[in-house]
Every structure is written in C-alpha cells, then in structure tokens.
C-alpha cells in the first residue's frame, strides 16, 4: 500500500471533524423534531383527557340542574295549569335563578310526550319526545348561525308528582350550547374550543361518557416549547459556527506545529539514509516541537545500533511467540490450548453458567478450490482477526482446525452469548474480503450451547456442534442456539447415514471393504491393494464421500480408523486378501497421533507378518504436530510397516514433508497426474520436475487415478514405480 503524505492526513482530519460536527448537528435537529412530535402527541392525549373530564363535569351539572327544575313546585304547577306556561318558560325560569344563563331554553312535556307549547325561535327542542327511550335521556343537534356551527345538547328528564318519584306528572327538557357550557364549566389548558366539530347526526341519542370520542378539536399551541425550540436552534447554529472557527484554528495550528515539522523530519531521515550510504554524517537542524526534536535525535542516536536492535527484537519476538499453544497461521489459540482449557474447566464437573460458541466459515472449501490456498489462508487470518477484535480482550479464540473457531464464555458473559455471536457475524460481514481478490461475500455460521442443570461440558460441546450445523441450513438465520427441538431435527443425529456410521464404529462387521490393486509398472502385476472403506445399510451403500465429512465434523477420526483396521483384520482372517499381496490402510491425522491406532497397526503386523502392510498418511494430515507424527511413524516402521505419503501435491507443504518425514512411498494425487494430460506446458513441466526430484531423493513413486492408456504411458515415462486407478483395476482381477 502506498504511503500517504502527512498533510493529507491533516486535511482528512479537518474533513472528518467537519463531517462529525455536521452529523451531530443533523442528529440534534432530528432529535428536537422528534421531541416536538412526542410533545405534540402527548398534548393531544392530554387534550382528549381534558375534554372528557370537562364533559363529565358538564353532565353532572346538567343532571343537577335537571333535578332542581324537576323538583321545583312551579314546574309541577305548569304541568297542571298551562295557561301561563309560555310566560313561565321565557321569563319566570330565568328570573328565578333556577337555571344559569348558559341554558338556551327549557320545555315541558305531557305524559303523552307532546310539548306544552312550541319552543321559541332559534331553539331546537322537539315537539315530541323520543318514543321508547328511558328517562333521563340526552340528544344532540347541530345548526348554523351566521355560517358558524353550533352544537346543542337536549337533556330530557321525568317530573315526579310525589316526593317518592313513583308517579310522574310529565317530562322536562333543557337545551344548552355545548361550547358555552364547556367554557362556563372548565378552564382549558390544552383544548382549543374555537374550532370544535362533531360527526354525530342531528337528533341522535348520546352518552355523555363517550361524547368526547365523537368530537374533533385542535390543541392549543405550546408557546413555551416553541420559544424554547427557537432558542435552542439559534444556540445550535452559534455553536456550530464557533466549532467551525475552532476547527479552522486547530487545523492551522496542527499544520504549523505538527505537519510542517514532520515533513521536515522526513526530509532529514531521507538525508540520513543517503548520507549513510555515502559514508557522511548529515547536518541536523533543530525542530521547534520538543517531542519531534527528541524523535529526530533518537534516530541519530540509535542509528549506529540498528543491527543490534534488530537482532534483539528478533530474539524477543521468538521468545514471546508461544508456538506450542498458538495457531501459526492466525496467531489465535490452537486445538491444544482448547483441549487444555477444557481440562482446566474440568470436563466432567457440573457448571452453573457457561456458553460455548462455535464459528464455521461457510463454503470455505469452494473458496480454497476457486482462489487457491494462499487466498484461503488470507480469509482464515482475516476471520480470526475480526473475531478476536470483536471479543473481549480476556476472551480466548481457538482455531479448532481448518475454518472452525470456538470461544468459551463463563459467568455473566454467558447470558450475552447470542448478542456476542451476532456482533461477531456482523463484523465479519463488514470486513472487506475483496482486498484478497474474492468477489463473493464471506459469511460464518455460528452454533451456541448453554450449560443447563445436570449438563457436563462434554455434552455442551456436542450441543454447540449440533447448533452450528443447524445454522448452516438454508432457512437458518446463520446463528442457532441449541435446544431440545434442535436436537430432534439435527441432521447430525437424525440422518440414518450418520447413525450407520456410529453403528459401524461399534460393530466393524457392518463395514464393507473394497480393495483396489496397486500395480508394479515393470511387471504389470499387483503388488499390494489399498483398503477402501464403505458402509452397507439396508441394501444401500454409503460411500467415503458421505462418510468422511461426518467423521471429521464429529471428530471421530481415530474411532473410525480403529473400525477400518478391525474390518481389514477380519478380511485377512477370512482370506479375502491373498497372502502374496500387501495391503495399504489409510490413517487420518488424528489416528496417526493416537497411540491406540498405531498400537493396533503394530499388532496387525505382528499377527500377520507374511503381509506387507503400508500405512498411508494424507499430506494434509501432517500440517500440525510434525514431531509427534514423526515419532509415531518411526514406531510403525520399526514394527515392519511401510509409510506412504498419500495425495502428494494436494496439500500445503509437500516438499517440506519429504524433507522432514520418514516415508517410503510418495503417492502423486490424481490432480497432479491429470496436469500431465490436461495442463499447459508450464504445469506439465512442474510435474515432471517434481517427479524427477522425488525419484532422485530415493523415494518409490505411485501414480494415483490412472484413467486411460495415455496417463499410464506418462507415468511410465516419468519413472513411476507403481500405479493405481480405474483403468488398471479393470485389467486386473483383484480381490473382492
């Protein structure tokens, strides 16, 4: 990456500060608007509540007025003697003070519901009471006066003839203006009565308890809040102007006191480098900033000791780097540290609060195959760095192998496992993997398991594994937390093929071995056979392509290797492998490091000394723990077994293994052999040179995947000793 000049950094700093100030101003303005909206909504609610309370007060007042009017003796007299009714209605009622001035008019009705005399002009009391309505009752009317809408309420009530109220003389009615009555009854803080409206039809019976729901009215403006908002916005603008002024001054000072001295120091360092090459000592000018001047002096003071410092730094770095418990590719903790920490937590004890998070890179094999191992390494490093930076500094990240990582959360952090997992996944999504030449997005799947009552840490690891594989399903959100339902639907446990693999480990007689001959090219005769495992289940055959992903995912490699050895021993006992032929057995990386697996192979050689036994170790199996693997290989060779390096050319460090590992045979992977037929001239030349190098080092060579006569001829021309593949198998009558 090209270095950037310091004055560009100063410009970027100024722009960033300006953008931050602008964003803060925008956010503040938005917050003010949001607060205004919330205040307005709250005032609407308070206004509605205020209106409901006022109407309730009006209803109580009208009820009291109606009762007083009904019990007034003159009211009863008018029902019995109607000669002076109109005079009583228009003058006497008002002069007596029985009703307030806000009441528009009153009316009396006979027992038949007819009004005693028509209402005066401008009033709207009906001539006939509503039939079938229980008293008291309230109705609603609306009229226009001078283009202004007026809303009137009519209260009808019975007038008793006796103090007990058991018999009635007739009925009374009161008309009043709703707005006038509200104004007289209540001082409104929120409700603006200047523009009230209603959707009720004329003559409709109303319930005062719900009348407020049928009214529409504006809310009074909040002048205090509006003034405060205006003052705040003016203050914000002044603050922004002041900040911009300060920013301009700070930028000038930074350029004056930092940028210019740094550029001057850079020129002096360049002069130092050039003068050192010419053998001259440069003349140094003092820098005004004390710290920068000290830095300049430090360059001169330590220039002569640079070589010693480099050596000391290399030694210190080597001592600091914890090779035994760190993954060499990513720098995070490796599988050994993971296993040790599990033991430190005491795997079989009960835990109160603990969470295990497993991370797995999606489609990593496709990335490796498409972009190459170097790009794959870059992806693994980037994912590990992103995860480690997202976790707390005290949380340990482990690389369990390949593209799988894990972390253990205890105590309070266990409850936040899903939130932490979500943050990790989001950070990985935000990482720019295009810098490594990858066009597709890189994602991870995450499985989480929490410790529950009675659960051991061993069970917790199994549950997290199930959750992680469930997260890889297309319908999943890429983060799964283990529960019992997930246990039942997990493809790792419910799939019948998986069950068959576990059954085969328990009973190796369920395994069906197929033996592919390895032919000596000089004589075209088979010299040994390679044991290829498969499982027969209910008439169906489970092939290695379906077996080994599950074995590796469930980490039962060593157990499966033991089952293969037992199946081979069974076939040897039944004579299915002729004694004049040797037999080759594939062993996984975990199996090679397992004393139990190597002891079984040693025992097999001792029981059947007449057989030549070849132990094939895949190239990728030897990436880690080479020293321990070498000790195990020496143990097998001392027992009389031959060692073959399988799939040569498909892994990471083929030539390194040839130089480090005590192997007898080198089996070239089918991809290498196909390059001889399908590759370009450079690829063919590389394969020829590698084959020449291996042969010159004294190793026997085996060509894998021979599919036709041309590939066979190429192998013979390069000096291969042995070959195997479909083309040769079809020509041989090898063991079944």
- For residues 595 and 626, state if they share a domain: yes
- For residues 619 and 511, state if they share a domain: yes
Contact in structure between 436 and 416 (CB atoms under 8 Å): no
CB atoms within 10 A of CB 513: 21
Average pLDDT over residues 401-425: 85
CATH label of the domain that carries residue 97: 3.30.450.20
Q: What is the pLDDT of residue 455?
A: 58
Q: Is pLDDT above 70 for 276?
A: no
Q: What is the pLDDT of residue 452?
A: 62
More confident residue, 562 or 619: 562
Domain count of the chain? Answer: 3
Sheet architecture: strand order including 404-410: 397-401, 404-410, 354-361, 444-450, 479-481
Average pLDDT over residues 671-684: 87
Q: Within a domain: residue 300?
A: no
Read off the pLDDT of residues 685-705 as tens digits, 9 standing for 90 and up. Answer: 989 999 998 899 889 999 998
Q: Within a domain: residue 413?
A: yes
- Lowest-pLDDT choice from 58-62, 313-317, 528-532: 313-317
Q: Within a domain: residue 312?
A: no
Average pLDDT over residues 343-356: 66
Domain boundary among 470, 490, 510: 490
CATH label of the domain that carries residue 367: 3.30.70.270
CA torsion, ordered 399, 401, 403, 407, to nearest 10 deg: -30
Contact in structure between 588 and 618 (CB atoms under 8 Å): yes
- For residues 679 and 573, state if they share a domain: yes
CB atoms within 10 A of CB 454: 7
115: phi > 0 → left, psi -120 to 50 → alpha, else beta; which? beta
Average pLDDT over residues 704-709: 89
- For residues 380 and 515, state if they share a domain: no
Q: Is pLDDT above 70 for 314?
A: no
Residue that is written with structure tokens 């293969």 in the block: 564
- For residues 200 and 333, state if they share a domain: no
- For residues 33 and 142, state if they share a domain: yes
Read off the pLDDT of residues 539-566 as tens digits, 9 standing for 90 and up. Answer: 778 888 678 767 876 778 889 999 999 9
Q: Within a domain: residue 290?
A: no
Q: How far is CA 501 from CA 121, 458, 549, in A?
A: 100, 20, 11
Alpha-carbon radius of gyration of the chain:
47
Residue 410 confidence class, pLDDT cut points 50, 70, 90 = confident
For residues 434 and 167, give the distance between their C-alpha atoms in angstroms, rounded to a whole number.
Answer: 95
Contact in structure between 585 and 615 (CB atoms under 8 Å): yes
For residues 417 and 446, give the distance between their C-alpha atoms in angstroms, rounded to a whole number.
Answer: 11
Read off the pLDDT of residues 135-167 as tens digits, 9 standing for 90 and up. Answer: 678 888 877 776 677 888 889 899 998 877 778
Q: Is pLDDT above 70 for 320?
A: no
Q: What is the pLDDT of residue 279?
A: 46
How far, in whole angstroms, is CA 296 from its chain's centroid? 48
- For residues 370 and 390, state if they share a domain: yes
- For residues 434 and 465, state if they share a domain: yes
Q: What percentage of residues in the chain have a pLDDT greater than 90?
A: 24
Burial call 534-545: b when 16+ CB within 10 Å, e when fewer: bbebeeeebeee
Q: What is the pLDDT of residue 182?
A: 87
Q: How far is CA 77 from CA 156, 159, 229, in A?
A: 18, 11, 64
Residue 209 confidence class, pLDDT cut points 50, 70, 90 = confident
Q: Is pLDDT above 70 for 712?
A: yes
Element (H, E) at 468: helix 457-471
Q: Within a domain: residue 264?
A: no
- For residues 53 and 153, state if they share a domain: yes
Q: How far is CA 653 from CA 312, 366, 725, in A?
A: 30, 20, 25
Give φ, ψ of 538 to 5 degrees: 55, 40
Contact in structure between 379 and 441 (CB atoms under 8 Å): no
- For residues 475 and 568, state if they share a domain: no
Instruction: Identify which of 584, 583, 600 has the alpha carbon closest to the alpha carbon of residue 592.
Output: 600
Q: What is the pLDDT of residue 623?
A: 46
One-character DSSP codes across 199-235: -PPTT-B--TTTGGGGEE-PBPP-HHHHHHHHHHHHH
- Lowest-pLDDT choice from 168-182, 245-259, 497-511: 245-259
Q: What is the largest CA-CA distance in the chain?
A: 145
Q: What is the pLDDT of residue 642?
A: 94
Helix or strand or coil: residue 5? coil
Residue 99 confidence class, pLDDT cut points 50, 70, 90 = confident
Q: What is the pLDDT of residue 621?
A: 44
Q: Is pLDDT above 90 for 707?
A: no
Burial grade of 462 (CB within 10 A; 0-12, 13-18, 19 or more): buried
- Lowest-pLDDT choice from 306-310, 329-333, 507-511: 306-310
CA torsion, ordered 522, 528, 529, 530, to nearest 10 deg: -100
Q: Within a domain: residue 331?
A: yes
CATH label of the domain that carries residue 692: 3.20.20.450
More confident residue, 686 or 258: 686
Helix or strand or coil: residue 314? helix
Q: Is pLDDT above 60 for 652?
A: no
Q: What is the pLDDT of residue 142?
A: 79
Instruction: Identify which of 117, 110, 111 has the alpha carbon closest to the alpha carbon of residue 90.
Output: 117
Read off the pLDDT of residues 365-406 as tens digits, 9 standing for 90 and up. Answer: 767 767 788 998 999 999 999 999 999 888 899 998 888 999
Contact in structure between 643 and 615 (CB atoms under 8 Å): yes
Contact in structure between 108 and 80 (CB atoms under 8 Å): no
Q: How far is CA 714 from CA 43, 206, 289, in A?
A: 90, 103, 72
Q: What is the pLDDT of residue 312?
A: 56
For residues 554 and 547, give the distance between their C-alpha atoms in angstroms, rounded to a whole number.
Answer: 11
Q: Is pLDDT above 60 for 594?
A: yes
More confident residue, 622 or 625: 625
Q: Is pLDDT above 90 for 599?
A: yes
Residue that is written with structure tokens 């039942």 in the block: 488
Could you give the angle at which helices 496-506 and 544-554 cross, rounded to 10 degrees?
80
- Average pLDDT value over all residues in the chain: 81
Q: Within a domain: residue 243?
A: no
CB atoms within 10 A of CB 391: 19
Domain housing 591: 495-731
Q: What is the pLDDT of residue 494?
A: 41
Q: Within a domain: residue 719?
A: yes
- For residues 462 and 335, state if they share a domain: yes
Average pLDDT over residues 273-278: 52
- For residues 524 and 632, state if they share a domain: yes
Neighbouring residues of 146: CB distance < 8 A, sequence distance ≥ 6: none
Tokens of 410: 């205890």
Q: Is pLDDT above 90 for 214?
A: no
Helices (DSSP H) in 514-555: which residue ranges?
544-554
For residues 616 and 532, give the distance between their C-alpha atoms in angstroms, rounded to a whole number.
Answer: 12
Domain boundary among 434, 461, 490: 490
One-character DSSP codes across 554-590: HT-HHHHHHHHHHHHHHHHHTT-S-TTSEEEEEE-HH
Q: What is the pLDDT of residue 309?
A: 61
Tokens of 210: 């719900």
Q: Is pLDDT above 50 for 735?
A: no
Please give the model's pTM, rounded to 2 decimal places: 0.40
Domain boundary among 490, 514, 529: 490
């Amino acid at each position: 990456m090209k270095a950037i000049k310091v004055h560009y950094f100063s410009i970027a700093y100024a722009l960033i500060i300006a953008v931050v100030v602008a964003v803060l101003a925008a956010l503040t303005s938005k917050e003010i608007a949001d607060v205004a909206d919330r205040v307005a909504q709250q005032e609407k609610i308070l206004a509605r509540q205020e209106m409901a309370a006022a109407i309730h007060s009006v209803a109580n007042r009208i009820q009291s007025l109606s009762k007083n009017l009904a019990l007034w003796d003159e009211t009863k007299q008018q029902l019995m003697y109607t000669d002076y009714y109109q005079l009583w209605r228009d003058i006497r009622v008002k002069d007596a003070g029985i009703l307030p001035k806000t009441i528009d008019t009153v009316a009396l009705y006979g027992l038949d519901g007819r009004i005693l005399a028509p209402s005066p002009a401008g009033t709207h009391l009906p001539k006939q009471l509503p039939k079938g309505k229980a008293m008291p009752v309230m109705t609603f009317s609306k009229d226009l006066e001078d283009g202004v809408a007026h809303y009137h309420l009519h209260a009808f009530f019975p007038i008793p003839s006796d103090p007990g109220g058991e018999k009635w003389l007739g009925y009374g009615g009161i008309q009043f203006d709703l707005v006038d009555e509200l104004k007289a009854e209540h001082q409104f803080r929120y409700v603006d009565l200047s523009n009230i409206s209603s959707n009720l039809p004329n003559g409709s019976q109303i319930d005062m308890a719900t009348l407020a729901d049928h009214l529409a009215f504006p809310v009074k403006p909040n002048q205090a809040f509006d003034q405060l908002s205006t003052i705040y916005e003016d203050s914000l603008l002044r603050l922004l102007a002041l900040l911009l002024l300060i920013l301009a001054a700070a930028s000038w000072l930074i350029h004056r006191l930092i940028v210019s001295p740094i550029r001057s120091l850079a020129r002096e360092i360049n002069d130092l480098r050039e003068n050192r090459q010419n053998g001259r000592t440069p003349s140094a000018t003092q820098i005004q900033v004390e710290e920068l001047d000290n830095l300049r002096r430090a360059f001169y003071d330590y220039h002569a000791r640079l070589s010693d410092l480099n050596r000391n730094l290399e030694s210190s770095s080597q001592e600091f780097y914890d090779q035994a418990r760190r993954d060499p590719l990513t720098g995070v903790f490796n599988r050994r540290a993971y296993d040790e920490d599990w033991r430190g937590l005491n795997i079989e004890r009960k835990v109160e609060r603990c969470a295990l998070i497993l991370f797995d890179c999606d489609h990593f094999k496709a990335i490796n195959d498409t972009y190459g191992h170097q790009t794959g390494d870059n992806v693994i490093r980037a994912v590990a760095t992103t995860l480690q930076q997202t976790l707390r500094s005290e949380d340990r990240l482990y690389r369990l192998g390949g593209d799988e990582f894990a972390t253990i959360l205890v105590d309070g952090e266990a409850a936040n496992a899903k939130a932490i997992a979500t943050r990790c996944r989001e950070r990985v999504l935000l990482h720019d993997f295009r810098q490594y030449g990858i066009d597709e997005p890189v994602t991870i799947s995450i499985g989480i398991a929490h410790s529950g009552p009675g659960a051991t840490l061993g069970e917790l690891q199994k549950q997290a594994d199930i959750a992680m594989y469930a997260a890889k399903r297309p319908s999943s959100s890429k983060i799964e937390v283990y529960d019992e339902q997930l246990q039942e639907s997990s493809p790792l446990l419910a799939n019948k093929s998986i069950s068959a693999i576990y059954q085969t480990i328990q009973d190796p007689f369920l395994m069906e071995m197929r033996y592919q001959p390895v032919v000596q090219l000089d004589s075209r005769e088979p010299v040994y056979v390679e044991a290829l495992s498969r499982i027969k289940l209910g008439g169906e055959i489970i092939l290695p392509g379906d077996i080994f992903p599950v074995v590796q995912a469930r980490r039962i490699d060593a157990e499966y290797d033991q089952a293969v050895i037992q199946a081979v021993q069974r076939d040897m006992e039944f004579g299915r492998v002729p004694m004049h032929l040797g037999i080759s057995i594939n062993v996984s990386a975990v199996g090679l490091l397992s004393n139990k697996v190597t002891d079984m192979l040693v025992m097999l050689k001792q029981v059947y000394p007449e057989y030549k036994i070849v132990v094939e170790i895949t190239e990728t199996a030897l990436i880690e723990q080479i020293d321990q693997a070498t000790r195990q290989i020496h143990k097998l060779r001392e027992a009389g077994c031959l060692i073959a390096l399988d799939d040569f050319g498909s892994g990471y460090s083929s030539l390194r293994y040839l130089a480090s590992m005590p192997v007898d045979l080198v089996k070239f992977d089918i991809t290498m052999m196909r390059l001889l037929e399908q590759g370009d001239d450079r690829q063919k030349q590389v394969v020829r040179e590698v084959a020449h190098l291996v042969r010159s080092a004294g190793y026997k060579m085996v060509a894998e995947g021979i599919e036709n006569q041309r590939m066979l001829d190429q192998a013979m021309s390069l000096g291969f000793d042995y070959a195997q593949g479909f083309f040769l198998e079809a020509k041989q009558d090898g063991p079944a």
